């Protein structure tokens, strides 16, 4: 990977580490906060590569609250289990009460 890609990934990890327990955000919200609004997919790649970096990747979902990254976690339902351990209700791979639980870095970190 190019150095600027690695630097972007580290910025993504810095934001993701600040997502509070029991809250979630989206790939796009992180991308927008970092000034790269069209880079939601790159944020997803960063989350996929975050293993072992102490990043709560399970708290980052798609813009509709769907657990689209769940297949990157070990085990069949690990992403859902991690969210449920934080009292986040997930039904059919969809976070319930998504709007209430949504953490927007644009509002929270400015």
Let me know: does 42 contact 26? Beta carbons within 8 Å: no
pLDDT per residue over 71-83, tens digit each? 888 877 999 999 9
Whether domain 3-98 has CATH 1.10.1760.20: the reply is: no
pLDDT per residue over 35-52, tens digit each? 999 999 999 999 999 987
Q: For 63-67, what is the mean pLDDT?
A: 97
Instruction: Give the separation between CA 103 and CA 29, rounded to whole angstroms.
Output: 9
Map out the domains of the chain as residue ranges: 3-98
Let me know: does 66 contact 93? Beta carbons within 8 Å: yes
Among candidate residues 87, 35, 79, 30, the one with its CA nearest the CA of residue 59: 79
For the entire predicted model, the pTM comes to 0.92
Let me know: does 41 contact 27? Beta carbons within 8 Å: yes
């Amino acid at each position: 990977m190019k150095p600027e890609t690695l630097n972007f990934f580290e910025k993504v990890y810095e934001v993701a580490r600040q997502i509070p327990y029991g809250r979630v955000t989206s790939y796009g919200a992180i991308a927008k906060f970092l000034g790269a609004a069209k880079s939601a997919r790159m944020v997803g790649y960063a989350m996929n590569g975050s293993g072992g970096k102490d990043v709560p990747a399970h708290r980052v979902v798609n813009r509709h609250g769907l657990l689209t990254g769940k297949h990157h976690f070990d085990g069949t339902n690990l992403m859902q289990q991690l969210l449920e351990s934080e009292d986040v209700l997930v039904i059919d791979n969809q976070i319930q009460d998504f709007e209430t639980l949504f953490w927007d870095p644009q509002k929270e970190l400015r």
